[in-house]
Structure 1
Amino acid sequence: MHSRTTTNKSDNSREGQIGIGTLIIFIAMVLVAAVAAAVLVQTSGFLQQEAQATGKEATKEVSSNIMIQKIEGIRSKNSATDMSATIDLFKLTLGLNAASEPVDLKEVIVSITDGFRTNNLVYAGNVNSLSPRADFQGNMSGFDMDPMENLERLLTENSTIGNTEINITYVNAQRYFTVKKIRDEDNSFSQSSPVMTTGDFVVIYVSTASQTSVNQGYTSLYSINTTSSLQSSGLNLIPRATVNLVLTPEAGASANADFILPSTYGSNEMIQLYP
């Protein structure tokens, strides 16, 4: 009888140990599952944030922010009956598509070609793009807060950048473009900080003055006095010339305009070319 009682206690002890071991294993499994769940939740949250950021960046890169409303061509002249045979100035009216990100025109590149020559232009107030060295400022010489003063310098002057040790001279008409605001409800746009936001409208001026017009010595171009000072853009926009114009912003898709100039300019000083 005594030995049988001892055997029962031993069996109960082993069963108790097995139960405690199972409990420990169960608790360990619960803890591991909890840790794994926390890691998964944290990882999924991080991945979601990364996916959203990537999606925004991708949308920004492929979306077309800049919208070309119209392009007008302007001829040099001496009088209403004595005008250039070429288009000597482009006037581009720009806006932004709905819900677009702001566009800094200081970082926009304007490329224009007449089929023979291509000019890649930067904003006249951009101090970096055309700088030959980091300690030089590459903006158009005499850049001003008055947009019409800047347009006059674009059409009639050159820019020398550097110092007595090193300097480079640019023909403004071949290197820069200038801008003027039309509508700016939030006051985000200025000559020093030309940032467009949704609802803004601006005009970009691109010189297309031909060497022929320079040689003829026309006295005015879009109310700017150009007597003996008009500078050639290197382009030659005669009737029926094919023009390709591309505006490339810092981020987002480029805005393009391809068109053929009219077969004759007639007696018009200003001609709508696009759309």
Structure 2
Amino acid sequence: MHIEHANKTRLKNNTKGQIGIGTLIIFIAMVLVAAVAASVLIQTSGVLQQKAQSTGKEATKEVSSNLMVQKIEGYRAKNSASDMAETLDLLKITIGLNAASEPVDLKEVVISITDGFRTNNLIYAGNTNSRAPTPGVAGNMSGFSDSPAINLEKALTENSTLGNPGANVTYVNSQTYFTVEKIRDEDDSFSQSQPVLTTGDFVVVYVPTVSQSSVDAGYTTLKTINVSSTLKSSGLNLEPRATVNIVVTPETGASSYADFILPTTFGSYEMVQLYP
């Protein structure tokens, strides 16, 4: 009887190692993808945060009211204490800044005033750009100087002819410009040529409101200024019971408003308190 040997060698393929390596590769790939995604998210969130901060600052500037109207007084033109105009021909507006406000350049401020019938949009008398008739020509009030008294007198009594001969334009100063005089300036930030307000500063803004009737009457004095019968009409008529609206608009930030109705009579007063 032939007996066949039962011992045989058997080889088995062990694939567990291959599966483990594939899983490891997939895991590493997932980690790399997650790391890249996390890096992108972190970078994007940083950019968005910076943009949000910048937008927040700009929004704060736009909605915050920097300029603060403290007081408004009106003055009548006159020849004497018993011979005064029936209208208010000059407004004296005291202005300051709210606490922690950004500095305000008054050269970029626009003051709009209406008597219910006419509106004048005034710029600072030293502003060289806003009313420039042609490029390269200064648009500030003619004869503008470092003296606030001289500037106020010119704003009330003169015209400004700007531009080159043959291509110029003439503005009535009382319809075009306002002037400013400082009250308090502890940090020396304010001058006639660089009228910058910082926190704690106070200035007086003079707004011409000369009426045609005062021009026709030939009054010689307005406030303490000798106007020598040469007043120029602002086109406004601030007579008793008139409704006056004033808007002070800075370059950035919210506008400041002052609305009031003039008294039923000015009596014998040269100066009349109007606001608040």
Shorter chain as denominator, the TM-score bin is over 0.9
Residue identity (%): 71
Distance 1:38 1:243 in 2: 60
SS of match in other structure, 1:59: helix
Distance 1:219 1:176 in 2: 21
Structure 1 partner of 2:23: 22
Q: 1:149 to 1:15 in 2, by over 3 A?
A: same
> Aligned partner of 2:235: which letter?
G
> Aligned partner of 2:110: which letter?
I
Q: CA deviation at 1:103?
A: 1.2
SS of match in other structure, 2:95: strand
Normalised by the size of structure 1, how large is the TM-score? 0.95
Q: CA deviation at 1:3?
A: 3.9
> Aligned partner of 2:188: which letter?
N
Q: How does 1:90-129 map to 2 (within 5 A)?
A: 90-129=91-130
Structure 2 partner of 1:157: 158
Structure 2 partner of 1:67: 68
Q: CA deviation at 1:197?
A: 1.2
Q: CA deviation at 1:2?
A: 5.8
Instruction: Report which of the two structures shows the higher radius of gyration computed on alpha carbons.
Output: 2
How many residues were matched structurally? 270
Distance 1:193 1:66 in 2: 17
SS of match in other structure, 2:192: coil
Distance 2:34 2:16 in 1: 27
Structure 2 partner of 1:263: 264
Deviations 1:169-219 (A, max 9, x none): 111000000111111112111111111111111110000011111111111
Distance 1:240 1:58 in 2: 39
Aligned: 1:215 with 2:248 = no
Q: CA deviation at 1:165?
A: 2.5
Structure 2 partner of 1:137: 138
> Aligned partner of 2:219: which letter?
Y
Structure 2 partner of 1:203: 204
> Aligned partner of 1:136: which letter?
V
Deviations 1:78-122 (A, max 9, x none): 112211111000000001111211111111110111111111101
> Aligned partner of 2:151: which letter?
N
SS of match in other structure, 1:218: coil
Structure 2: tracts of 5 or more residues without a match: 1-6
> Aligned partner of 1:150: which letter?
N
Distance 1:172 1:255 in 2: 23
Distance 1:108 1:3 in 2: 102
Q: CA deviation at 1:145?
A: 1.0
> Aligned partner of 2:106: which letter?
L
Distance 1:52 1:118 in 2: 38
Which 4+ stretches in 1 moved above 6 angstroms? Answer: none
> Aligned partner of 1:216: which letter?
A
Deviations 1:15-46 (A, max 9, x none): 21211111111111111111111111111111
Structure 1 partner of 2:57: 56
Normalised by the size of structure 2, how large is the TM-score? 0.95
Structure 1: tracts of 5 or more residues without a match: none
Distance 2:22 2:145 in 1: 84
> Aligned partner of 1:105: which letter?
L
